[in-house]
Amino acid sequence: MIQKLLLSVLSVFFNFLPGNKPFISSGRWICFFLLAFQMSFGQSCNVVKTGDFTGSINATNWSAQTDVTGWYYSAAWAPNEAYIEADGITNASLKQSLTGLIAGPLTLSFNIKGQNANRVSTCNTTATLLVKLGGVTYLTVTNQGNNSNIPLSDVVVSNGASIASTTGFPLTVVGLSTAITQGTIVLTIPWSPATAAATMADLEFVATTSNLAVGACVGAWGGDDWFLDNISLVAANPTSFNMTGTSVCAGSTATIGLNGSQLGVNYQLQIGGLNTGAVVPGTGSAISFGNQTATGVYTVVATAGSTTCSTTMAGSVSISPNLPASVSIAASPAGAICYGTSVTFTVTPTNGGTTPIYQWKLNGANVGTNSTTYTNATLLNSDVVTCVMTSNAACLTGSSTATSNVITMSSGGPTATGVAICAGGSGSLTSSYSCASSTSTQTASGSGGTSNTTTYGGSGNTNISINFPALPVGAVVTNVSTTITYTSNSPSWTNELRIEATPPVSLGGVQNNLQISTSSSAPGTITNTTFGTWGTGSPVGTWLFRFRETTDDGGVNPDANISNISITVAYTIPGTLDWYTNTTGGTKIGSGSPFNPVGVANSGLANTNTAGTTTYYVECSSNPGCRTPVTFVINASPSITAISSPAALCSGGSLNPSAPTVTANGSTVTASG
């Protein structure tokens, strides 16, 4: 071109270039939508590279020219677009060689602008833009002479192509009073490659511009320009074929292939997702990757030409390592449990195959079902749980049957031993378990004390007496502490208070002149502060606390108010074995070991005359609710059929009956003659 538009027109022109005018963004979104629409129906891969011309025309992918010979990139006049502005150009081709055109139809989409500048009023010229694929013209766009826009009637398809959609037409092309506008064309191109070579073709945008240096056009500016952007050609991804070959164990050979292939498609065998072996080109029929011996899972990825358009083929073939079958189990909750806790055991198989069989065992006996879990809420101390797995894996070393680790249950309650007696006999339930001690505290308080004079019991002094109540039976004192809260009234200081404490005899004698370590030479309040040191004797009984001041502050009465004194005793109670008839709750029927429930109130066992089994439950008082079941069994006395005459046996005589009938507990009867 001889020159561009005037600066005022340039400003308008730039405002409508990509990135500044809304319809540019709209055009890009329309292209994206159409691409997504095509992808949803199998046309799922753009084979054009760098068709957005961001910052340049990529010379690796596109064949272009210069600003005076044809297509080029201008950051000033056409940022992020391919641009042709030279006058008198014939058949300038913006070209990219494509691969991966494996099946049609193909969908071509691009943004387009044209520009006439001032030639509408100066001269009558015409420009054309041809769209070609493989040398065949499928679309012609004409910028007619003396026109101010390009209507759809000047967008003509040929050779079986069809326009799927357009936006932005008619395009405004005159650039003096109105800014040029951009449109989008989506073109459907028929394509049926018969050979591998036919899956490769050149995509071309061939431009012809007018010659403004002759006739009425001499001196004109702003000739026949074309702008292109967002070029994409969407082709089908490779078709999915099925892998062929039989999975085998290590040491055997697998012959791997595909039951079909496409021309122009490259097939890559992978093991564990990594390429192995050379690429095999598609032939239009079944292909083979030969014999494979390495262990792993084999898959195949098909890629159309040199594009990134790929499809993973259906299925896989495995060469599995030879490994032993094993199984482990875990309990939830783990560790010691209380009777009645529901415990779930879960297997973790190794090389179990697709459908392993599980047999759970409790103390060696079959339990549960063929399941990966087993649940039991009646487990006892020392119960043993295991699982036997039968694997159906194809590649095993050794037996297909594997036994899990052993889980031996541990009771959180006390261990105990039941008893079995004959009817009319006697016996006791026993436990050698040592229950832990429980800890607790007990507090007693008093208030209303005052301190005024320098002598205990002096005028204005008020004592505090506290009666500490009895502790639970069996309590063992571990600590006794006393605390005080008081306020010294100004001008009396907190460090002037002295305390005389008389505890029960078992804690020693009187302690005099006790002072609070946090007191100070100022009035104030001391809160819940410890004083005195006591032993671990019995705190039960009357405590007496008397008060005095080191200085008589005269007019202040009293010098100090003692609002609270507390005695806190920490103690332990040795745990006891307590017996119940219920798994939870209920009333204790006895304590200690041994324990004979016969005749005990509420035990349900008045005597031992009747055969049967009664279950009792024992818990530690320090761990309430965690009980262990134990049985008291009364067996019936044995009986035999009476021996009839002869009443006495002589030498050579016989026993009648010769084989007495033995019942009940299986006692043995012997006779001699």
How confident is the model over 361-414, as pLDDT tens digits? 999 999 999 999 999 999 999 999 999 999 999 899 999 999 999 999 999 999
Q: How confident is the model at residue 564 (pLDDT cuts 50, 70, 90)?
A: very high
Q: How confident is the model at residue 42 (pLDDT cuts 50, 70, 90)?
A: very low
Q: What is the mean pLDDT of residues 106-122?
A: 80
- Judge: domain 243-320, CATH 2.60.40: yes
Domain boundaries, the chain: 7-235, 243-320, 326-408, 413-436+575-642+654-665, 446-470+489-562
Tens of pLDDT, residue by residue over 610-634, are: 999 999 999 999 999 999 999 999 9
The answer to whether domain 7-235 and domain 413-436+575-642+654-665 are alike in fold is no
What pLDDT is attached to residue 175? 63
What pLDDT is attached to residue 8? 32
CB within 8 Å of 452: residues ≥ 6 apart: 458, 459, 460, 461, 549, 552, 557, 558, 559, 560
What pLDDT is attached to residue 75? 94
- Ramachandran angles phi, psi of 254, nearest 5°: -110, 125
Other beta carbons less than 10 A from residue 304's beta carbon: 26
Q: What is the mean pLDDT of residues 57-68?
A: 95
DSSP secondary structure of 619-651? EETTSTT-EEEEEEEEEPPP-BPPP-S-SSPPT
Q: 326-408, what's its fold?
A: Immunoglobulin-like (2.60.40)
**Which token pair is 524?**
């104030």
Is 24 a residue whose pLDDT tops 50? no
**Which token pair is 183?**
């449109």
**Which token pair is 69?**
């010979």
CATH code that applies to domain 7-235: 2.60.120.260
Q: What is the mean pLDDT of residues 43-53?
A: 88
Establish how many alpha carbons lie within 13 A of residue 595's alpha carbon, considering only the half-sphere containing its beta carbon.
30
Q: Tell me which residue of 97, 98, 130 sits closest to 206, measured CA to CA.
A: 130
- Judge: domain 413-436+575-642+654-665, CATH 2.60.40: yes
Alpha carbon 344 to its chain centroid, in Å, reads 22
Write down the residue that tokens 């005749």 correspond to. Answer: 599
Do residues 397 and 250 touch, judged by C-beta distance below 8 A? no
What pLDDT is attached to residue 164? 97
Q: Which residue intervals of 292-421 are DSSP H helices?
A: none
Determine the 3-state secondary structure of 138 from DSSP. strand
Cis amide linkage into residue 646, ω under 30° from 0: yes
Determine the 3-state secondary structure of 14 from DSSP. helix
Is 78 a residue whose pLDDT tops 50? yes
Q: Tell me which residue of 440, 565, 555, 442 sits closest to 500, measured CA to CA.
A: 565
Q: How confident is the model at residue 39 (pLDDT cuts 50, 70, 90)?
A: very low
Q: What is the mean pLDDT of residues 241-263?
A: 96
Query: For the chain, what percent of residues have pLDDT higher than 90?
Result: 75
What pLDDT is attached to residue 9? 32
Output the CA torsion 51→55→61→65 (10° steps). 110
What pLDDT is attached to residue 203? 98
What pLDDT is attached to residue 508? 87
Q: State the Cα–Cα distance between residues 224 and 221, nearest whole angstrom.
A: 10
What pLDDT is attached to residue 659? 53
Q: What is the mean pLDDT of residues 87-91?
A: 89
- Ramachandran angles phi, psi of 7, nearest 5°: -60, -35
Q: How confident is the model at residue 224 (pLDDT cuts 50, 70, 90)?
A: confident
Share the mean pLDDT of the chain. 87
Q: What is the mean pLDDT of residues 30-52?
A: 59
**Which token pair is 356?**
């392993």
Is 41 a residue whose pLDDT tops 60? no
Q: State the Cα–Cα distance between residues 263 and 281, nearest whole angstrom.
A: 7
Q: What is the mean pLDDT of residues 56-60?
A: 96
Please say whether the dihedral angle defined by the alpha carbons of residues 291, 292, 297 and 303, taken in this order, is positive or negative.
negative
Identity (one letter) of the amino acid at 442?
A: Q
pTM of the predicted structure, to 2 decimals: 0.54
Is 667 a residue whose pLDDT tops 60? no
Do residues 187 and 139 touch, judged by C-beta distance below 8 A? yes
Among the ranges given (143-147, 182-186, 324-328, 467-471), the one the predictor scored with the smallest mean pLDDT? 143-147
Is 432 a residue whose pLDDT tops 50? yes
Q: What is the mean pLDDT of residues 454-475?
A: 94
Q: How confident is the model at residue 20 (pLDDT cuts 50, 70, 90)?
A: very low
pLDDT: is 667 or 568 the higher one? 568
Q: State the Cα–Cα distance between residues 115 and 489, nearest whole angstrom.
A: 101
Tens of pLDDT, residue by residue over 129-163, are: 999 999 999 999 998 876 788 999 999 999 999 99
Q: What is the mean pLDDT of residues 220-243?
A: 88
Strand order across the 343-350 sheet: 326-332, 343-350, 373-376
Q: Tell me which residue of 367, 417, 403 sits closest to 594, measured CA to CA.
A: 417
What pLDDT is attached to residue 115? 85
Is 666 a residue whose pLDDT tops 80? no
